[in-house]
């Protein structure tokens, strides 16, 4: 343990020397588990933007400051109102000086917000304002009511279960969208999770990083209380799974209204994790040691477990929580998989039902707008086409593709005559007057009737193409020739 403590002090000193700890804490004005220890990293921006300068800068761009929302080490957030449309926005102004508009657009936070937008659970960037005279950059974003920390602060009774479930589902959706876009946040915490009524949105992308960037990354990233073990125990060898760990810590805090691992420093942070989850196996520690310059040995500890901290917790809730807080990042659940967890089953079913109703509503609107007759055309024509393709006679229709036409043409030429303007003739029984005529397939037979009907006598059958012996046969053949069927009202 002493080896690890000495090593940790050395890492802090090296990190301070190379200024690797410049992690924006834009909304963390409460200094809860700061991303860096302020006594070790006293670096401040070279020029602080005064409130008067910010107000003047925004006024010239058409925005009026209403009140200050919060302030961090590298930025401040104010509520503003647009002088054009009167709408309210959240304005985040950087304290560092930017040299050009191109440099402002290339900021990692700006690039991330543009790539991730639009999404229902991601804060949307409305406008970027750059003041060339002062080098000030302001991000005009949508305004939310509060963050999760403000929402649960001071509460004495836990939140309803369905509220917690809705918030966690939306948080997992935001992380799934980020990770699928090739970005991981690196600073998921209650202060950076904003809510407005029942809608949750993830904000503050100043610490985000590409999932394709090669480690080692910045060692002192994320807020300490929500920092994953791989961030604490390796020299920057972590990945997007660190966001899932942070979300698991937020999950616990929303349910219990208390932080899960409130460490006072990095050494105490590791100890608090081991107090709950226990000391990891040597095989897992060996994976972490491969990216460490110093050896560390932790005393064996079983851990109290999370279930003792939140008794009477349902099994699906505890299952998801443990999977999000898996010590090994390779065993930790992914955001996409978390959305399919049993814990969110009711929300998924409700979403599926809503999507179905929306599709039906859109279909009904389409029928009303285009007319019933046009819509019915789309309903019966595919079925009609299917019957044509199953029959021997295939007729070209507007629904048939160019390739289908060329496939069907050889069959038409080989087997049946081509009817360019009529439907294929069907074998149908048409009611009408009873007419006797020779049919080659009917055998000769005699029937004795009890009534007045005469007996049917057989006659020698001849085909139409056979030459008759005399004129009487020719006349008889013409007499019994079946006339063609007439179409009535477009049918038979």
pLDDT, tens digit, 9 for 90 and up, residues 135-164: 899 999 999 999 999 999 989 899 999 999
Using the 8-state DSSP alphabet, how is residue 422 labeled?
A: S
**Identical fold at 53-142 and 146-346?**
no
Using the 8-state DSSP alphabet, how is residue 191 labeled?
A: G
Q: Give Cβ neighbours of residue 340 (< 8 Å, ≥ 6 apart).
A: 348
CA distance 409 to 402: 11
Closest CA to 39 of 7, 5, 9: 9
Per-residue pLDDT of the chain (492 residues), as tens digits, is 545 555 554 544 444 434 433 333 344 444 566 544 443 444 444 444 467 777 888 898 899 999 999 887 788 999 999 999 999 999 999 988 899 999 999 999 999 999 999 999 999 999 999 998 888 999 999 999 999 999 999 898 999 999 999 999 999 999 999 999 999 999 999 999 999 989 999 999 999 999 999 888 887 777 899 999 999 988 888 999 999 999 999 999 999 999 999 999 998 999 999 999 999 988 888 888 766 655 677 888 899 999 999 988 999 999 999 999 999 999 999 999 999 999 999 999 999 998 888 888 888 877 766 655 444 444 444 444 444 444 444 444 444 444 444 444 444 444 544 544 454 554 555 555 555 555 455 555 555 555 555 565 555 555 555 555 555 555 555 555 566 666 555 555
Q: Is residue 291 a contact partner of residue 208, using CB atoms and an 8 Å limit?
A: no
Q: Which fold has domain 146-346?
A: Transferase(Phosphotransferase); domain 1 (1.10.510)
The residues pairing with 61 across neighbouring beta strands, listed in sequence order, are none
CA distance 174 to 171: 5
Using the 8-state DSSP alphabet, how is residue 13 labeled?
A: H
- Domain spans in the chain, listed from the N-terminal domain onward: 53-142, 146-346
Specify burial of residue 426 (Cβ count, 10 A radius: 0-12, 13-18, 19+). exposed
CA distance 103 to 432: 90
CA distance 148 to 190: 5
CA distance 318 to 256: 13
pLDDT digits (tens, 9 = 90+) for 56-71: 888 988 999 999 998 8
CA distance 376 to 363: 12
The whole-angstrom distance between residue 47's C-alpha and the CA centroid of its chain comes to 41
Q: Which residues are annotated as a binding site for ATP?
A: 92
pLDDT digits (tens, 9 = 90+) for 386-445: 444 444 444 444 444 444 444 444 444 445 445 444 545 545 555 555 555 554 555 555
Closest CA to 145 of 70, 192, 196: 196
Residue 187 annotated as catalytic: yes
The residues pairing with 68 across neighbouring beta strands, listed in sequence order, are 78
Candidates 37, 133, 145, 187; catalytic one: 187
Q: What's the whole-number average pLDDT of the chain?
A: 77
| Pairing relationship of beta strands 136-142 and 75-82 according to DSSP bridges | unpaired
Closest CA to 138 of 112, 116, 107, 114: 107
Q: Give Cβ neighbours of residue 217 (< 8 Å, ≥ 6 apart).
A: 209, 236, 237, 238
The whole-angstrom distance between residue 330's C-alpha and the CA centroid of its chain comes to 22
Dihedral (Cα; 89, 50, 191, 10), 10-degree rounding: 150
Q: Name the CATH superfamily, with its identifier, for domain 53-142.
A: Phosphorylase Kinase; domain 1 (3.30.200.20)
3-state secondary structure 245-294: HHHHHHHHHHHHCCCCCCCCCHHHHHHHHHHHHCCCCHHHHHHHHCCCCC
CA separation, residue 27 to residues 73, 93, 431 (Å): 9, 12, 87
């Amino acid at each position: 343990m002493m080896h690890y403590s000495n090593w940790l002090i050395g890492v802090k000193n090296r990190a301070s020397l190379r200024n690797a700890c410049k992690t924006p804490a834009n909304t963390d004005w409460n200094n809860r588990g700061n991303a860096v220890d302020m006594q070790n990293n006293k670096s401040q921006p070279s020029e602080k933007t005064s409130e008067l300068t910010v107000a003047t800068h925004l006024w010239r761009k058409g925005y009026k400051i209403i009140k200050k929302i919060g302030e961090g080490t590298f930025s401040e957030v104010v509520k503003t109102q647009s002088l054009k449309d009167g709408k309210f926005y959240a304005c985040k102004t950087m304290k560092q000086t930017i040299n050009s508009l191109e440099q402002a657009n290339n900021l990692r936070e700006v690039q991330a917000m543009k790539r991730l937008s639009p999404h229902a659970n991601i804060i949307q960037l409305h406008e970027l304002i750059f003041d060339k005279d002062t080098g000030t950059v302001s991000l005009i974003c949508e305004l939310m009511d509060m963050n999760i920390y403000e929402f649960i602060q001071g509460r004495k009774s836990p939140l309803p279960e369905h509220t917690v479930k809705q918030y966690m589902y939306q948080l997992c959706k935001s992380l799934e969208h980020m990770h699928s876009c090739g970005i991981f946040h690196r600073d998921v915490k209650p202060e950076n999770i904003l809510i407005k009524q029942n809608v949750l949105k993830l904000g503050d992308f100043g610490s985000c990083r590409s999932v394709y960037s090669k480690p080692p990354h910045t060692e002192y990233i994320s807020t300490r209380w929500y920092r994953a073990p791989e961030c604490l125990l390796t020299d920057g060898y972590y990945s997007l799974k660190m966001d899932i760990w942070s979300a698991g810590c937020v999950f616990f805090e929303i349910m219990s209204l208390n932080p899960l691992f409130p460490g006072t420093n990095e050494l105490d942070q590791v100890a608090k994790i081991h107090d709950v989850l226990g000391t990891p196996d040597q095989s897992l520690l060996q994976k972490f040691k491969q990216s460490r310059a110093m050896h560390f040995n932790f005393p064996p500890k079983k851990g109290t477990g999370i279930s003792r901290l939140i008794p009477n917790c349902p099994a699906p809730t505890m299952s998801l929580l443990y999977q999000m807080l898996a010590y090994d990042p390779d065993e930790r659940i992914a955001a996409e998989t978390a959305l399919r967890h049993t814990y969110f089953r009711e929300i998924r079913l409700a979403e599926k039902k809503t999507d179905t109703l929306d599709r039906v509503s859109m279909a009904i609107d389409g029928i009303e707008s285009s007319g019933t007759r046009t819509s019915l055309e789309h309903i019966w024509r595919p079925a009609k086409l299917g019957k044509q393709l199953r029959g021997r006679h295939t007729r070209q229709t507007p629904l048939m593709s160019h390739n289908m036409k060329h496939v069907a043409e050889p069959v038409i030429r080989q087997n049946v005559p081509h009817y360019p303007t009529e439907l294929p003739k069907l074998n149908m029984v048409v009611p009408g007057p009873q007419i006797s005529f020779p049919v080659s397939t009917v055998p000769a037979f005699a029937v004795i009737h009890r009534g007045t009907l005469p007996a049917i006598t057989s006659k020698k059958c001849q085909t139409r193409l056979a030459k008759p012996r005399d004129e009487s046969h020719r006349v008889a053949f013409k007499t019994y020739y079946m006339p063609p069927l007439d179409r009535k009202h477009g049918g038979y």
